[in-house]
Chain A
Amino acid sequence: MRKRERLTGYLLITPAFLAIFAVLVYPLGRAIDMSFHKIILTQPNLGQPFIGLENYIQVIKDPIFLNAIENTFVWLFFNLVFQMLFGTLIALLLNESFRGRGLVRGLMLIPWVTPSVVAMLTWRWMYDAEFGIINQFLKSIGVIDKGIAWLGNVDTAMPAVILESVWKGTPFVMLMILAALQAVPRELYDVAKVDGANAVQSFFNVTMPLIMPTFIIAATLTVIYTFNNFNAIWLMTEGGPLRATETLPILVYTLGFRNFDLGRSSAVGVLTLLILLVFVALFGQRYIRSQVDL
């Protein structure tokens, strides 16, 4: 009976695992295999000869790979810091009880709900050098006197894309932290007050320890999502100008579908996955444990 029970369980999850094999495991295997072959899309007559580690060697020697790693870390670092900082501060604000906070919470959800293509195109229009509202605003308060091509300039493209991404990602962090804050039992604050703690002390001794697990989970999700984010950059700058915003996922795409070198593109893809796995192994354990012990 017990055995039959277990068997039913396995039967129920079989279709899911077959599907995951077909759309995730198999393509991943193919990507690894492709990374050891020379595959040039525009030259099908070459066949797909096995070239061992050649793609990896070429990639690692190529300065654009190092450039993409640097960009990825800059992109990741500023997104993480600002999203967590603003998300937490706004959550603390919305955790106070005052009239109209439901409305504000609703407004905050807008960036999260907006489809990424829509969001990016809107920001491109706002950043427009000649007719964009951001330049207009800065001109009117006297910060600049000529429109700046925010996305077309090597120095400003990355900050401009990060600003957009922080705008889109912060609400999610805010929601998670807010949910954690609201789960802190009121009595704990009362007890702290009786014990003579002021607001700052009760924040550090009561609030912080209790929201820490959620904070770490939100940070982990932000890292993974930001690291993998293709749309935010591609739809604003396509990795340009002069590769100034080219992160690893963008490089995978440009190698494959601009240079038509699917072998090298796959090699960068595999390296990208390895880097992400190191991250998750280092920082994501708490997240994984919290999720599996449901």
Chain B
Amino acid sequence: MKRPKFLRPSNIRGTIFLVIALVIGIIFALPFIYMISTSLKGQSELFTRPATFFPTKGYYFQAYLDVWSKGKFDQYFMNSVVVSSASTLVSVVIAILAGLGFARYKLPNKLLLSILVSQLFPLVLLVPPFFVVFRQMGLYDTHAALIISYVSFALPYSVWMLTGYFRSIPIDLEEAAQVDGATRLGAYLRITLPLATPGIAATIVYCFILAWNEFLFAFTFISNPSLRTLPVGLQMFIGQYGVEWNLLMAGAVVTTIPVVVLFVILQRYLVAGLTAGAVKG
């Protein structure tokens, strides 16, 4: 009798590795799977015992409809889109300029170092001063407060990433363009920026994700329920509706989908850029 392929001696090692790795991978994925499975449970099944991992009394999509109507998720979603896009736009535009500056001109290393140090900052320390300043300026309880405060983490990160990307593009190409009569600015616009597109795209996406996931500032600087972003709206759910966990988990899935989609599209660039040592989070 022929043994199945994965049990052949030459493959046993690989099979053992795969089984161990799969078990570990599934353990790490379990909470995520449980989130989706809870969101599909009916209200009555949530509070029956023994609790089960997967729905046993049928799959319900009602929770997904309810989060939008009952939970005001349409509004939170739009607020998150506005705040995340604006802070990303501001940060990345400024960072493109700075990235070119650091990558193409001899500037003191100390300046670049100060960008790095500003990334290490405990952001919670900024909450009391921002709170006071925003109230003085009349920005408390506005999206502008969030857009401004988000620049504090999105900008250092973007400068850091983009400097690295621009440095990885050979300067010879720009010089060749200049020999052919292009101005320095023209060379940046026609040569460097197009070549750096994947890097710029990855930076945009990651800034967007950081802003999309941000909780602390949004939780503190906004009190008007109709201005809340998704993470805060999600967290407030617990208080508002007691423990309608299926609704909460449906909201969690809705919050996660844009992040996962963006991540999957740009996975290659993101993983390379981030593991080069820029951020963890």
Contacts and interface: CB of A to CB of B under 8 A. Distances in A.
B101 A9 contact: yes
B259 interface: yes
B265 to A, nearest CB: 12
Given A31-B125, A100-B22, A221-B277, A116 B215 contact: yes
Given A113-B260, A292-B113, A273 B122 contact: yes
B200 interface: no
A170 B115 CA distance: 26
Contact of A20 (B14, B118, B126, B238): B118
A227 B164 CA distance: 26
A253 B104 CA distance: 41
A227 B125 CA distance: 13
Contacts, number: 292
Given A13-B107, A16-B159, A98-B17, A118 B252 contact: yes
B57 interface: no
Contacts of A172: 274-275, 280
Interface in B38-54: 38, 46-47, 49-53
B248 A99 contact: no
B155 A133 contact: no
Residue among B15, B109, B216 with the highest chain A CB neighbour number at 10 A: B216
B215 A294 contact: no
B54 to A, nearest CB: 10
B68 interface: no
Interface in A235-294: 235, 248-249, 252-253, 256-257, 262, 265-266, 269-270, 272-273, 276, 280, 284, 287-288, 290-292, 294
| Interface residues of A, dominant DSSP | helix
Contacts of A88: none
B97 A24 contact: no
A272 B252 contact: no
Contacts of B107: 6, 9-10, 13
Nearest to B17: A98
A90 B24 contact: yes
Contacts of B260: 113
Contacts of B124: 228, 230, 249, 252-253, 269, 272
Interface string A98-120: 11110111111111011111110
Given A27-B130, A30-B133, A99 B215 contact: no
A127 to B, nearest CB: 11
Contact of B213 (A11, A109, A117, A288): A117
B31 A126 contact: yes
Interface string B11-42: 00111011011101110110110110010000
B256 interface: yes
A94 interface: yes
Interface stretch (B58-66, B145-153, B172-180, B190-198): B145-153
14 contacts: A16-B97, A16-B101, A27-B152, A31-B126, A107-B25, A109-B267, A115-B256, A117-B234, A124-B238, A136-B51, A171-B28, A217-B277, A252-B127, A290-B277
